[in-house]
Amino acid sequence: MIPINTVLVIEDEEIGRYLATTILQKMEVGKEIVVAKNGLEALNILQELCLNKNCPELILLDIKMPVMDGFEFLTELDNQTDIDITRAKVILLTSSASPKDLDRAKHFPFTTYMHKPLTREKLQLVLNS
């Protein structure tokens, strides 16, 4: 597992943000945990983090969000030239059982697809892979 200094949690629901940050803190994953409520806010945060040479090594990304959803975020991120997250693990979190979402996730090869709720065990499996 690569050392993780910064984690970006992108989740519109307060309970989801709380759960993710609590699990990360208890597992001692990331020295800094930054949160965003939607993809657009996350893009702005990422630009700032990466500009300061602090791009996250782990991104927990909810798929279903208002303003800009997870897939829109990933598509927009592909168009950005000033944000490089190629070394980051991106975990797509969803409560959807839709095969369409899983197929869509496969178009982003740097992502891992995970069903909610996020648990310590699920996160540990992904971090160790």
- Strands 32-36 and 111-115 come out as unpaired
Quick: pLDDT tens for 14-49.
999 999 999 999 999 999 999 999 999 999 999 999
Domain boundaries, the chain: 6-128
Considering the domain delimited by 6-128, tell me its CATH architecture. 3-Layer(aba) Sandwich (3.40)
Q: Which residues of the chain have pLDDT under 70?
A: 1-2
Instruction: Tell me the whole-structure pTM to 2 decimals.
Output: 0.93
Q: Is 7 exposed, middle or buried (CB count within 10 Å of its CB: 0-12, 13-18, 19+)?
A: buried
Cα dihedral 52, 67, 37, 17 in deg (nearest 10): -130
